[in-house]
C-alpha cells in the first residue's frame, strides 16, 4: 500500500487500487498491532488530569522528540500500584494500537511503573518531606491509641448474614457504636 508516485501517470489516472477510508484505517490497525504487539515505552507523563468520569485515564507519554497518546482502561487503572502524575517519568507496558475513528495511534497501558527504583524512592521521600513540613509527623501531634475504639466502621452489604454476625459478636463481647457503609457484595 504505497502512495502513488506523482511521476507515474498510470497511478494518477486511476489505475491504482482504490481503498475506502475504513479499509486503510483497519489495515493500518492490523499492521501496527501485528508488528508491535506488547511494548514497553519510557516517557514523561503529560496532559494527565486524573481518571475520566468513566474511570479511564487519557494522557500522553513524551520524550524530547516525540509524543504518543496513552489510555489506561478503568480495570487496569484500579490495579495500578501507584497512580500516574503529571511530569513523572514512567515505563508503560501495553499494546500499541490505532484508533481508526480518528487516524491516531496510542498505547493501551496495562502496567505502569516509575522509571527506575530511585524514581519511586524520590517520590516517596518528596511526599514525606512535604508532610513533615506541615508538621504531620511531630511527636506532639501523636495521640495514644485507645484500648477499644468507640466507633467501628464496617464496609459490607447491609442486608447480608455477615453484618448480622458482626453486630451480634460485637454486642456480645464489647458493645460499641457501629457505622455500616453499604456496598454491593
pLDDT tens digit at each of 185 positions of the chain: 556 565 655 555 668 888 899 888 888 888 888 888 889 999 999 999 888 889 899 999 998 899 999 999 999 999 988 888 888 889 999 999 988 787 888 999 999 988 865 566 777 888 889 999 998 888 888 888 888 889 999 999 888 888 999 999 999 998 999 999 998 87
Q: How far apart, in whole angstroms, are the C-alpha atoms of residue 155 and residue 180?
A: 6
Q: What pLDDT is recorded for position 83?
A: 85
User: Would you state the pLDDT for residue 61?
Assistant: 94
> What is this structure's pTM?
0.56
Question: Is 72 in the same domain as 155?
Answer: no
Answer yes or no: do 167 and 119 share one domain: no
Instruction: State the total domains in the chain.
Output: 2
Domain coverage including residue 111? 9-132
The answer to whether position 55 is within a domain reads yes
Q: Which residues of 47-86 are buried (b: 16+ CB within 10 A; e: fewer)?
A: ebeebeeeeebebbbeeeeeebbbbbeeebbeeeeeebee
Backbone angles phi, psi at 84, to 5 degrees: -65, 150
Amino acid at each position: 500500500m504505497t502512495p502513488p508516485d506523482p511521476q507515474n501517470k498510470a497511478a494518477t489516472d486511476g489505475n491504482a487500487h482504490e481503498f475506502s477510508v475504513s479499509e486503510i484505517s483497519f489495515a493500518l490497525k492490523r499492521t501496527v498491532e501485528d508488528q508491535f504487539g506488547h511494548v514497553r515505552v519510557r516517557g514523561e507523563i503529560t496532559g494527565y488530569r486524573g481518571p475520566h468520569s468513566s474511570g479511564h485515564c487519557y494522557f500522553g507519554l513524551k520524550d524530547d522528540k516525540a509524543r504518543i497518546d496513552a489510555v489506561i482502561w478503568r480495570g487496569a487503572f484500579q490495579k495500578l500500584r501507584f497512580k500516574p502524575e503529571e511530569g513523572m517519568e514512567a515505563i508503560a507496558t501495553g499494546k500499541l494500537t490505532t484508533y481508526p475513528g480518528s487516524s491516531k495511534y496510542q498505547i493501551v497501558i496495562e502496567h505502569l511503573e516509575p522509571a527506575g527504583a530511585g524514581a519511586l524512592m524520590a517520590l516517596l521521600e518528596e511526599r514525606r518531606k512535604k508532610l513533615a513540613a506541615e508538621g504531620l509527623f511531630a511527636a506532639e501531634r501523636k495521640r495514644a491509641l485507645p484500648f477499644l475504639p468507640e466507633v467501628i466502621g464496617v464496609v459490607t452489604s447491609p442486608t447480608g448474614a455477615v453484618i448480622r454476625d458482626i453486630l451480634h459478636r460485637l454486642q456480645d463481647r464489647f458493645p460499641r457504636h457501629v457505622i455500616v457503609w453499604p456496598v454491593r457484595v
